[in-house]
Amino acid sequence: MSEMMKNYIAEAEEALLHTYNRYQIVLDRGEGVWLYDMDGKKYLDFVAGIAVFALGYHNREYNDALKAQIDKLIHTSNYYYNVPAVEAAKKIKKVSGMDRVFFTNSGAEACEGAIKAARKYAYLKDGHTDHEIIAMNHSFHGRTMGALAVTGNPKYREPFEPLIGNVKFADLNDFDSVLSQVTDKTCAIMLEPVQGEGGLFPATEEFLKKLRALCDERDILLIFDEVQCGMGRTGYMYAWQRYGIKPDIMTTAKALGCGVPVGAFLMTEKVGLHSLVAGDHGTTYGGNPLACAAVEKVLDLFEKDHIIENVRKVAPYLEKRLEELADKYDCILERRGIGLMQGLVFDRPVSGIINKAMENGLILISAGPDIIRFVPPLVITTENVDEMIAILDKCIRE
């Protein structure tokens, strides 16, 4: 490592709040599915900024769209209309099948908005403020106080309690555990169709269908958090579309802006007409022209470059190669996941393998201490999969 890179790392540790245990490299630029550090070392990226950079790095059309918008208008606030927000809203409505959009700055903010919309919907029905939300154990919805309250991991929640109240937890894919928590106060059931941080667990079609029927029967809102598993990562624009089980409210972010910080929560017309109104919710930056120009161009490029088709082509190959690796090594207990959102579960901590992979030019991350997570750019090829497997195999062997 060069002295220059060491100095930047040292300066970062002095200046930045230590809330991340960062890997000891300073990334400088990217090209396609490759990243380069300050010393010029090349890394195959199977993280994509945590499922964000779906289009790969240095996409010329994406960059040009942002540059053009910067030269026109970056921000005005939501007291005024702007063209990119309208165009982005039209396009995300089309690909999601939802009816109303609220643009946010992040996935956590999108989850906050979804929670507020659900509570307001219930409040308008009976005038009470004691409604309950059922979330899933091992879920992850963000670090803000509302999103944290529905995150099903006590270690994240406990230092910051009391959080917002009236949240109960059930188990993913265990309908009886959900049913046992339902009361007349239940206003929403919230889950990720594929749990990301919680270990790459997909919800089953049967479970989702039972939730949808329960919510329809009792006028409970079904909320899907598609922040990580959405935007084509599972081979569908949104993971729920695989089974056609539509939520009342959904959240999206990460690859929605492919690097520009932007998220959104969307809802059906029924919820839109009977929940949040003027003054109930807002954000200074949300939906600004620059962020929405990114959303608009990302959605255009998903269609033009056949991104979802590529996921459907490459994902089965990635699954096959990961299964082969799992069969080869006793320390790998299983592969799980869906699409280009995969995990290998080990019988030991994986930090050593991830560090060794980085030394060998491969960027990976974990999902918990014993799972390696694979969330690469959605433009990867089967050749990139082979390159990744070759490095990972070597690192496990060593």
Query: Quick one: what percent of the chain has pLDDT higher than 70?
Result: 100
What count of other Cβ atoms lies within 10 Å of the Cβ of residue 3?
A: 7
How far is residue 359's CA from residue 143's CA, in Å, rounded to a whole number? 31
- Nearest by Cα to 267 from 100, 97, 46: 100
Q: Is the pLDDT of residue 362 over 90?
A: yes
pLDDT at 23: 87
Q: In 199-212, which positions are buried (b, 16+ CB within 10 angstroms) versus exposed (e)?
A: bbbbbeeebbebbb
- Work out the widest C-alpha separation in the chain, in whole angstroms: 64
Cα-Cα-Cα-Cα dihedral sign, residues 290, 293, 299, 303: negative
How far lies 46's CA from each of 86, 354, 389, in Å? 33, 11, 11
- Nearest by Cα to 222 from 232, 231, 213, 235: 213
CA dihedral of 271, 276, 282, 288, whole degrees rounded to 10: 40
Amino acid identity, position 64: D
**Domains parsed from the chain with CATH numbers:** 3-55+306-397 (3.90.1150.10), 61-304 (3.40.640.10)
How far is residue 309's CA from residue 375's CA, in Å, rounded to a whole number? 16
pLDDT in tens, 137-161: 999 999 999 999 999 999 999 999 9
Peptide bond just before 193 cis, omega within 30 deg? no
- Residue that has been written with the tokens 């929605």 in this structure: 256
Mean pLDDT of the chain: 96
The model's confidence at residue 207, banded by pLDDT at 50, 70 and 90, is: very high
Amino acid identity, position 51: A
How far lies 377's CA from each of 40, 125, 245, 312, in Å? 21, 43, 26, 13
Q: Output the pTM of the full model.
A: 0.96
pLDDT at 119: 98
Look at residue 94 and give its three-state secondary structure: helix
Q: Is the pLDDT of residue 47 over 90?
A: yes
How far lies 323's CA from each of 327, 334, 368, in Å? 6, 8, 20
